[in-house]
Structure 1
Amino acid sequence: MPADCFVACGATIACMSSLLTHLRLICRASYLLSTVCWGLIAVLVLYPFINLESQRAVKKAWSRQMLKACGLDFRVEASPEGLLEPQPGELVVMNHISFIDILALDALRPVHFIAKSEIRAWPVIGTLCQRTGTIFIERGKRHAVHDVLRVMAAELSQGEVVSFFPEGT
């Protein structure tokens, strides 16, 4: 503890509070980093050897852990008629505010997201996206929309859930 923390009792308490805040931040960041690493190891090492249902379960569990690591409590609250059961071949279109949207939807039901192709080159995140079935679109290329529509149609016809954020993609 720094020497200036012992000036007065009140200052000591404030300094301890600051140290605890920093310690909590370090713990949360460590938890988040270890969860990201767990996801990366899962998609690189585990995914090639497990079936599609197991991949979905891993993706769902990882998304829930990521939300928890971000300090968010994930739960679904709805009236029985308000919560729709997942349907095969479902297309989900929603607003995009932050990466939390993606984690929350994946925590509910694993989804193939449509994302800008630049994300593919991002360290770690790009690998996670590629290995978990993200469909990339090259914005600015005329044929890109048709290519993505073909991939979307194939995924939907196989009963997969596809999602995109119109203003974010």
Structure 2
Amino acid sequence: MSAWLPSAPCTPGACVERCRDVAAVPRAVLRLAAVAVLLLVGIAIVLSPLGPGRPRSRGRIPAALVRHWCRWIVRAFGVRVRMTGAAAPAGGLLLVAHHVSWLDIPLLAAVRPARMLAKSEIRRWPVAGPPAARAGVLFIERDRLRALPDTVAAISRALREGAAVAAFPEGSTWCGRARGSYRRAVFQAALDAGVPVQPVRIRYRTAEREVSTAPAFVGEDTLLASLWRVATARGVTAEVEVRPVVPPGRHRDRRSLAEAAQQAAAAPGVPVLRHGHRRKAPSKSMCAL
């Protein structure tokens, strides 16, 4: 693992609070069962002749159906979804958002179906790998700096072909009480392709309108623990705000473009902190925020 790979200081023990209001076990189990059914239906469609990976089939699955399916996935967990802002434009588009949870992925796809960036290890996963590859996921080798130019070129090529590409430029998940700074490489792809950038602001709230850390998937948290925490939480709302698009040509370099997108996607009052590195022990300073 290279030292440049970013990681957040957030940890489950320091940042993720216990939910005051939790769902009963039977209800949580029903939620997870509903999610499993929706995932199986989605995988079946992706692997079917209508799937995006079949010859001459790209685009057959209606975008509206994909958006609704993504919202259903989040709703099946018991999380309400509130979406505001204008619709994302058609054509090549880079979608970016701060990263808190695996829930961010279907929420971003609910804004506009897009090719997601994912670590290369997922391609080899026995269950998730083949459907992810068929769905058009762009796999990146995050721990190999030498692979970065090829990654930027692949993203730029997808953007030129008119696809939307979704990315979380922080490179790591944060708890939601603070954010990391955006890495700039993915914005070079948008510059090279001459496409707009669509910042999206994603926030998780409790019923009392406070920041909810229940969906946070940080540090050494396990996926099973995170899934159960979300399924048992009550009163969580995902607020998705589609911010004004940053048109091509407004920023000449990736640094200024990344800063503009970061400022647009950041929630008011949430500080942006510098990343640590995975070789360093995670800090617990965030628990006081």
Question: Is 1:55 aligned to residue 58 of structure 2?
Answer: no
1:33 maps to a residue whose letter is A
Alignment partner, residue 10 of structure 1:
none
The share of aligned pairs that are identical, in percent, is 34
Alignment partner, residue 155 of structure 2:
152
User: 1:28–1:69: 8 Å Cα contact kept in structure 2?
Assistant: yes
Q: Find 2:137's aligned residue among 121, 124, 134.
A: 134
Length-normalised TM-score, structure 1 = 0.74
1:168 maps to a residue whose letter is G
Tell me, in whole angstroms, the C-alpha distance in 2 between the residues paired with 1:139 and 1:40.
26
Classify the secondary structure of the residue corresponding to 1:53.
coil
Tell me, in whole angstroms, the C-alpha distance in 2 between the residues paired with 1:121 and 1:110.
23
Map residues 13-24 of structure 1 onto 2, 5 A cutoff.
Answer: 21-24=24-27
Classify the secondary structure of the residue corresponding to 1:55.
coil
105-114 or 49-58: which moved more?
Answer: 49-58
Question: Do the aligned partners of residues 92 and 138 (structure 1) sit closer, same or farther apart at CA in structure 2, a change above 3 Å counting?
Answer: same
Question: Do the aligned partners of residues 101 and 49 (structure 1) sit closer, same or farther apart at CA in structure 2, a change above 3 Å counting?
Answer: same
User: 1:40–1:124: 8 Å Cα contact kept in structure 2?
Assistant: no
User: 2:115–2:136: 8 Å Cα contact kept in structure 1?
Assistant: yes
Deviations 1:55-89 (A, max 9, x none): 353433331221121112334223xxxx2542421
Aligned-pair Cα RMSD in Å: 2.4
Query: Cα offset for 1:141?
Result: 2.6
Query: Cα offset for 1:49?
Result: 7.5
Length-normalised TM-score, structure 2 = 0.45
Question: Do the aligned partners of residues 91 and 118 (structure 1) sit closer, same or farther apart at CA in structure 2, a change above 3 Å counting?
Answer: same
Runs of 4+ in 1 over 4 A off after TM superposition: none
Tell me, in whole angstroms, the C-alpha distance in 1 between the residues paired with 2:43 and 2:156.
28
Alignment partner, residue 90 of structure 1:
93
Classify the secondary structure of the residue corresponding to 2:103.
helix
Which segments of 5 or more consecutive residues in structure 1 lack a partner in the other structure? 1-19
Which segments of 5 or more consecutive residues in structure 2 lack a partner in the other structure? 1-22, 173-289
Map residues 74-113 of structure 1 onto 2, 5 A cutoff.
Answer: 74-78=81-85, 83=86, 85-113=88-116
Tell me, in whole angstroms, the C-alpha distance in 1 between the residues paired with 2:132 and 2:26.
31
Tell me, in whole angstroms, the C-alpha distance in 2 between the residues paired with 1:69 and 1:93.
24
Which structure has the highest strand share of the two? Answer: 2
Which has the higher Rg, Structure 1 or Structure 2? 1
Tell me, in whole angstroms, the C-alpha distance in 1 between the residues paired with 2:119 and 2:82.
29
Choose between structure 1 and 2 for higher RCO, CA contacts under 8 A separated by at least 6 residues.
2
User: 1:43–1:131: 8 Å Cα contact kept in structure 2?
Assistant: yes
Classify the secondary structure of the residue corresponding to 1:128.
helix
Count of residue correspondences: 146
Tell me, in whole angstroms, the C-alpha distance in 1 between the residues paired with 2:38 and 2:105.
16
Which structure has the highest helix share of the two? Answer: 1
Alignment partner, residue 5 of structure 1:
none
